[in-house]
C-alpha cells in the first residue's frame, strides 16, 4: 500500500506524510493536526475510518481525499472516487480534482455519513463477524441484514420528523445520508443524495415475506413506495420519508448503530448538517 502511494505522490511531485492509526480517537486527532498544516488530508481505510477522519474536518477548509481500503468503501463508491488505490491516490494530488461538499447526520455531537439504524438491521450490522466479512465481503452485510429482518419481531416505535409525530410497530428504522448499500448497484433508493440537505428515513414495517421482498427489490434497484405524514404505518410494509430532523424512540432498549458502530438506542435525536464536509472527487468528465 505504501509503495503504491509513494509512487503516485512522487509522480505528482507531492510532499506527504503518513500516520498509522490504532484507534478511532487516534484517527480523529491525527486528522485534526494534519488539517492545520496540509492542503489535503487523505484517509486510507474503510467507511468507519473515513467517518472518524471526516469528523475532524467538519466545517473546515481542508478537503478530504478518500483512498479506499475497506470491506465496502460505500462512501467512496457513492461519490465516484476510484476504488483502485493508485487511481485514488493520483486524484488526491490532482489539480483537476473537484471540491464537493456533502451533508452529515449529527447525533450526540458526532457526525455520521452513511446510515444510523435501529432494530433488526442494526443487530445484523453489529453482529457481522470478521470471518463472514472475510469470506463474503460487503455482501455478507446484505445477507445478514435480510436474515435478521426475516427473523425479527416488530417492536413499538415513536417518530417525530420535523413537525409530524406518529408511532407504530416496525422491525427496523434507518436514517440514511447515502442510499448505496455495498459494491455494485445495490442501494435503497436512487433518490437518496449525500448533498440534498435532507435525512432519508426508511422504515421496514414487519418481517412478512412481502416486507423482505420490498427490501430486496429496493436493494437491487427498484424504487420503494413513498410515504408521507398522511400515510398510516399500517398501510405499507416499507416506507420512506424525508425530513431535516428526527427523534426516534422505542419501547425498550434495542440494537442501534451509526455507520456500523454500536450506539445507545435511547431516544435518538438526529439532525442534518448540510454540505459541511469538503471532499475531493474526479472531474465531471471522468465520472
Which CATH architecture best describes the domain 2-102+276-286?
3-Layer(aba) Sandwich (3.40)
Q: Choose the weakest-confidence range: 104-108, 187-191, 214-218.
A: 214-218
Reported as a single tens digit per residue, the pLDDT across 251-274 is 989 999 998 889 998 899 999 999
* CA distance linking residue 2 with residue 21, whole number of Å: 14
Query: Is 121:202 a contact under the CB 8 Å cutoff?
Result: no
Q: Choose the weakest-confidence range: 72-81, 110-119, 123-132.
A: 123-132
CA separation, residue 38 to residues 34, 35, 61, 64, 239 (Å): 6, 5, 11, 11, 44
Provide the sign of the torsion angle of the four alpha carbons 5, 10, 12, 14, taken in this order: positive
> Residue 138: is its pLDDT beyond 80?
no
Where are the chain's structural domains? 2-102+276-286, 112-275
DSSP 8-class letter at 152: P
Which CATH architecture best describes the domain 112-275?
Sandwich (2.60)
User: Grid coordinates representing 122?
Assistant: 442494526
| Mean per-residue pLDDT, 10-38 | 89
Same fold, 2-102+276-286 and 112-275: no
Burial of 272 (0-12, 13-18, 19+ CB in 10 A): buried
> Residue 129: is its pLDDT beyond 60?
no
* CA distance linking residue 207 with residue 51, whole number of Å: 31
| Whether pTM exceeds 0.75 | yes
* CA distance linking residue 112 with residue 102, whole number of Å: 11
User: Grid coordinates representing 264?
Assistant: 445507545
Amino acid 110: pLDDT:
96
CB neighbours of residue 149 within 10 Å: 22
Reported as a single tens digit per residue, the pLDDT across 175-213 is 999 988 766 667 778 889 999 999 999 998 866 544 444
Amino acid 260: pLDDT:
82
| Confidence band of 45 (pLDDT split at 50, 70, 90) | very high
> Residue 276: is its pLDDT beyond 90?
yes
CB neighbours of residue 23 within 10 Å: 9
SS3 at position 14: coil
Q: Which of 115, 133, 129 is nearest to 74 (CA)?
A: 115
Paired sense of beta strands 110-112 and 115-119, if any: unpaired
Instruction: Give the number of residues written for the chain.
Output: 287
> Residue 124: is its pLDDT beyond 70?
yes
User: Grid coordinates representing 88?
Assistant: 485514488
> Residue 127: is its pLDDT beyond 80?
no
Amino acid 24: pLDDT:
75
Q: How far is CA 155 from the centre of its chain?
A: 24
Q: Which of 122, 99, 112 is nearest to 41 (CA)?
A: 99
Q: Choose the weakest-confidence range: 11-15, 124-128, 155-159.
A: 124-128
Amino acid 220: pLDDT:
40
Highest-scoring range by mean pLDDT, 2-16, 136-150, 268-282: 268-282
Amino acid 147: pLDDT:
63
Angle at 186 between CA 64 and CA 99, to 5 degrees: 20
* CA distance linking residue 48 with residue 246, whole number of Å: 23
Amino acid 221: pLDDT:
38
Q: Between residues 10 and 44, which one has the greater pLDDT?
A: 44
Q: Could you tell me where the DSSP H helices lie in the chain?
A: 2-11, 24-37, 47-57, 74-79, 85-92, 120-127, 130-136, 138-151, 209-219
Q: For 183-202, what is the HEC assignment?
A: CCCCECCCCCCCCCCCEEEE
* CA distance linking residue 53 with residue 68, whole number of Å: 13
Torsion angle (degrees, nearest 10) of CA 131, 83, 276, 285: -160
Amino acid at each position: 500500500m505504501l509503495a503504491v502511494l509513494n509512487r503516485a505522490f512522487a509522480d505528482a511531485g507531492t510532499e506527504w506524510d503518513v500516520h498509522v492509526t490504532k484507534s478511532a480517537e487516534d484517527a480523529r486527532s491525527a486528522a485534526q493536526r494534519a488539517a492545520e498544516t496540509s492542503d489535503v488530508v487523505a484517509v486510507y481505510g474503510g467507511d468507519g475510518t473515513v467517518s472518524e477522519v471526516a469528523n475532524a474536518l467538519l466545517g473546515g477548509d481542508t478537503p478530504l481525499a478518500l483512498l479506499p481500503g475497506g470491506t465496502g468503501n460505500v462512501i467512496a463508491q457513492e461519490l465516484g472516487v476510484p476504488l483502485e488505490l493508485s487511481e485514488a491516490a493520483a486524484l488526491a494530488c490532482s489539480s483537476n480534482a473537484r471540491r464537493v461538499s456533502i451533508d452529515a447526520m449529527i447525533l450526540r455531537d458526532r457526525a455520521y455519513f452513511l446510515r444510523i439504524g435501529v432494530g433488526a438491521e442494526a443487530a445484523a450490522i453489529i453482529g457481522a463477524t470478521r470471518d463472514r466479512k472475510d469470506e463474503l465481503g460487503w455482501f455478507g452485510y446484505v445477507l445478514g441484514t435480510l436474515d435478521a429482518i426475516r427473523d425479527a419481531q416488530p417492536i413499538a416505535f415513536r417518530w417525530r420528523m420535523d413537525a409530524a409525530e406518529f408511532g407504530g410497530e416496525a422491525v427496523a428504522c434507518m436514517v440514511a445520508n447515502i442510499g448505496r448499500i455495498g459494491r455494485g448497484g445495490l442501494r435503497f433508493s436512487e433518490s437518496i443524495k449525500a448533498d440534498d440537505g435532507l435525512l432519508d428515513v426508511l422504515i421496514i414495517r414487519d418481517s412478512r415475506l412481502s416486507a423482505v421482498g420490498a427490501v430486496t427489490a429496493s436493494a437491487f434497484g427498484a424504487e420503494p413506495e413513498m410515504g408521507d405524514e398522511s400515510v398510516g404505518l399500517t398501510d405499507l410494509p416499507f416506507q420512506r420519508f424525508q425530513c431535516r430532523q428526527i427523534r426516534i424512540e422505542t419501547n425498550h432498549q434495542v440494537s442501534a448503530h451509526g455507520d456500523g458502530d454500536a450506539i445507545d438506542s435511547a431516544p435518538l435525536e438526529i439532525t442534518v448538517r448540510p454540505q459541511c464536509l469538503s471532499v475531493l472527487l474526479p472531474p465531471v468528465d471522468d465520472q
